[in-house]
């Protein structure tokens, strides 16, 4: 392998001018992702609807988190003079790959050649046949793919699905109402995947530590999926608002009142909001509740999770690595004293007073952060001579590392971990490492996940 082929999906459906603009954002985001992970001076060549990165480094775990990349293929690039020379190089590069396996050859061409793709597939198959276990065109054990562009060729055997979606910032700006719980990080992820420049609004209803825990998840999300812009994080102290709602709103309408306040605070910063709401997941998320709440804001409210089951949302949370950290987030659980209204009517709005003055004061005192937020380290339980596990993608090995497999690949290697050992797991922000540690603890293995910064302080 000496290069990686990159493909996009929906970009190819756009008009010419839009496609050119999206391709620029696509390549800009890819370069930023590589630079963040220490891969410098990399060139990305546009072959016309197909992009190629010339590299021998394993950057798959970096590329598969960049919105807009549909799939990638590690490939070998070479040039050729004529068909005879091309067949000779195919035989040299692919004979070992088909050894002892059934195979097929698939070829795509662009340019003028004195052969057809079908002819070349047959002749290349003949060249490789002796080394193989035979040709199987319907269900081969391995497929030799060749993309030919004039006198250049790219040979590959694997296509890896990536994030898909649209290039970062291509869809405009949106503000996510962000609690850090299971739902809102998934909602933010879905918006980032669709090419939105996502900013974050956290209304802290409980205590100072909640901000620290939520900020870690925010840091992780923007480091993995946000490109081409500097995300903003708006911190609002909502404790006085909760107190006022408890004093002035009947118990069965407090959830509705709080959500209205959330929307009204959100529209102070953006006229397009995203939330983690799903139909009937909570009393404030029934269709009647959503209708009443939405009537109290002029903002466009996007709900990317609206039709998902909780199991679907949790699965995505686990896949992107936020689940364990999200489960630590404390929620306000004593707002209502008893049963709540699940089907409020517009007439119920008259029973909820205006909190405009309180909202204006909270917005005036907002704390705004840009980019990564400095967070405090947790007090760790004691571990007895733990083995260090580094799950960061494609980075230099840190001191005392015993296992180095990037996340999420390492989740398929849990059998490497033994109950007789203890593990200290490290990632950039302590979110992925927390997710892995949680999975190991469920198997009865003692493990703790921390950030790289925290680990370095311990040395």
What's residue 290's pLDDT? Answer: 95
Residue 75, strand partner residues: 3
pLDDT at 449 over 70: yes
Query: Whole-angstrom Cα distance, residue 29 to residue 192?
Result: 12
- Average pLDDT value for residue range 271-287: 94
Could you read off the pLDDT of 34-51 as tens digits, one per residue? 999 888 878 899 988 789
Angle 129-131-132 from CA coordinates, rounded to 5° = 65
What's residue 324's pLDDT? Answer: 92
What's residue 68's pLDDT? Answer: 95
8: which DSSP letter? Answer: E
Furthest-apart CA atoms within the chain: distance in Å: 85
Is the CB of residue 102 less than 8 Å from the CB of residue 136?
yes
Higher pLDDT, 15 or 378: 15
Query: Whole-angstrom Cα distance, residue 273 to residue 285?
Result: 16
Q: How far is CA 236 from the centre of its chain?
A: 26
What's residue 12's pLDDT? Answer: 87
**Which residues of 157-271 form beta strands (DSSP E)?**
160-161, 172-177, 196-204, 232-237
Structure tokens at 57: 């480094």
- Average pLDDT value for residue range 348-374: 95
Parts of the chain belonging to CATH 3.40.250.10? 387-458
Domain 172-370 has CATH 3.40.50.620: yes
Query: Whole-angstrom Cα distance, residue 274 to residue 41?
Result: 36
Structure tokens at 368: 């705004």
Which is nearest to 187 in space by CA: 201, 203, 170? 201
- Average pLDDT value for residue range 356-384: 91
Sign of the CA dihedral with 193 first, then 196, 197, and 202 last: negative
Alpha-carbon distances, residue 157 vs 74, 76, 144, 160 (angstroms): 8, 10, 5, 10
- Average pLDDT value for residue range 392-406: 83
Could you read off the pLDDT of 193-232 as tens digits, one per residue? 999 999 999 999 987 668 999 999 999 999 999 999 999 9
- Average pLDDT value for residue range 160-165: 95
Give me the percent of the chain exceeding a pLDDT of 90. 78
- 73-112 as b/e, with b when 16 or more CB fall inside 10 Å? bbbebbebeeeeebbebbeebbeebbeeebbbbebebeee
What's residue 65's pLDDT? Answer: 92
What's residue 376's pLDDT? Answer: 85
Per-residue confidence band for 385, with pLDDT thresholds at 50, 70 and 90: confident
What's residue 220's pLDDT? Answer: 95
433: which DSSP letter? Answer: H
118, containing H or E segment: helix 117-129
pLDDT at 408 over 90: no
Fold annotation for 387-458: Oxidized Rhodanese; domain 1 (3.40.250)
273, containing H or E segment: strand 272-274
Is the CB of residue 182 less than 8 Å from the CB of residue 331?
no
Could you read off the pLDDT of 7-19 as tens digits, one per residue? 998 898 899 999 9
Helix, strand, or coil (residue 369): strand
**Chain mean pLDDT for the chain:** 92
pLDDT at 129 over 90: yes
What's residue 179's pLDDT? Answer: 94
pLDDT at 425 over 90: yes
**Residues comprising the chain, all counted:** 459
Cis peptide before 408 (omega within 30 of 0): yes
Query: Whole-angstrom Cα distance, residue 429 to residue 448?
Result: 13
163: which DSSP letter? Answer: -
Backbone angle region of 169, left / alpha / beta, with phi > 0 → left and psi within -120 to 50 → alpha: left
Query: Whole-angstrom Cα distance, residue 324 to residue 430?
Result: 10
Query: Whole-angstrom Cα distance, residue 340 to residue 359?
Result: 24
Parts of the chain belonging to CATH 3.40.50.620? 172-370
Query: Whole-angstrom Cα distance, residue 85 to residue 114?
Result: 13
CATH of region 3-161, choose from 3.10.620.30, 3.30.1360.40, 3.30.2130.30, 3.40.50.300: 3.30.2130.30
Q: φ and ψ at 344, to 5 degrees?
A: -65, 155
Per-residue confidence band for 337, with pLDDT thresholds at 50, 70 and 90: confident
Query: Whole-angstrom Cα distance, residue 229 to residue 25?
Result: 11
What's residue 208's pLDDT? Answer: 67
Helix, strand, or coil (residue 138): coil
Q: Which distant-in-sequence residues (6+ apart) come within 8 Å of 351 by Cβ?
A: 249, 250, 253
pLDDT at 333 over 70: no
- Average pLDDT value for residue range 154-173: 96
Parts of the chain belonging to CATH 3.30.2130.30? 3-161
Q: How far is CA 324 from the centre of its chain?
A: 15
Structure tokens at 292: 């009443």
Give me the percent of the chain exceeding a pLDDT of 70. 99
Structure tokens at 265: 């605070």
Which is nearest to 113 in space by CA: 155, 151, 154? 151
pTM of the model: 0.91
């Amino acid at each position: 392998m000496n290069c990686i082929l990159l493909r996009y999906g929906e970009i190819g459906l756009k008009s010419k001018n839009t496609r050119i603009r999206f391709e620029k954002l696509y390549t800009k985001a890819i370069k930023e992702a590589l630079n963040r992970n220490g891969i410098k001076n990399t060139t990305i060549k546009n072959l016309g609807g197909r992009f190629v990165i010339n590299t021998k480094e394993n950057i798959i775990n970096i590329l598969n988190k960049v919105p807009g990349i549909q799939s990638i293929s590690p490939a070998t690039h070479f040039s050729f003079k004529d068909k005879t020379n091309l067949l000779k190089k195919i035989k040299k590069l692919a004979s070992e790959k088909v050894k002892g396996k059934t195979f097929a050859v698939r070829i795509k061409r662009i340019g003028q050649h004195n052969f057809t793709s079908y002819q070349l597939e047959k002749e290349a198959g003949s060249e490789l046949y002796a080394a193989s276990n035979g040709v199987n065109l319907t269900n081969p054990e391995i497929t030799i793919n060749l993309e030919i562009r004039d006198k250049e060729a790219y040979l590959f055997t694997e296509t890896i699905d990536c994030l898909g979606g649209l290039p970062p910032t291509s869809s405009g700006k949106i503000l996510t109402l962000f609690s850090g719980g299971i739902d809102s990080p998934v909602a933010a992820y879905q918006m980032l995947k669709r090419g939105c420049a996502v900013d974050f609004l956290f209304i802290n209803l409980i205590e100072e530590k909640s901000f620290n825990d939520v900020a870690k998840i925010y840091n992780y999300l923007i480091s993995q999926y946000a490109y081409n812009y500097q995300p903003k994080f708006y911190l609002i102290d909502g404790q006085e608002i909760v107190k006022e709602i408890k004093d002035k709103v009947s118990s069965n309408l407090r959830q509705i009142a709080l959500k209205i306040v959330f929307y009204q605070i959100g529209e102070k910063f953006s006229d397009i909001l995203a939330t983690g709401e799903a139909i009937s997941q909570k009393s404030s998320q029934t269709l009647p509740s959503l209708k009443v709440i939405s009537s109290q804001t002029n903002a466009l409210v996007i709900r990317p999770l609206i039709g998902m089951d909780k199991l679907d949302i949790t699965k995505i949370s686990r896949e992107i690595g936020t689940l364990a950290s999200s489960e630590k987030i404390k929620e306000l659980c004593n707002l209502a004293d008893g049963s709540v209204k699940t089907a409020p009517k517009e007439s119920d709005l008259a029973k909820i007073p205006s909190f405009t003055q309180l909202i204006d004061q909270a917005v005036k005192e907002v704390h705004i952060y840009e980019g990564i937020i400095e967070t405090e380290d947790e007090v760790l339980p004691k571990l007895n001579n733990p083995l260090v596990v580094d799950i960061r993608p494609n980075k230099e090995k840190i001191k005392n590392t015993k296992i180095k497999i990037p996340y999420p690949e390492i989740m398929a290697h849990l059998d490497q971990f033994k109950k007789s050992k203890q593990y200290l797991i490290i990632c950039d922000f302590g979110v992925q490492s927390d997710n892995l540690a949680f999975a190991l603890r469920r198997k009865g293995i003692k493990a703790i996940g921390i950030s790289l910064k925290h680990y370095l302080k311990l040395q």
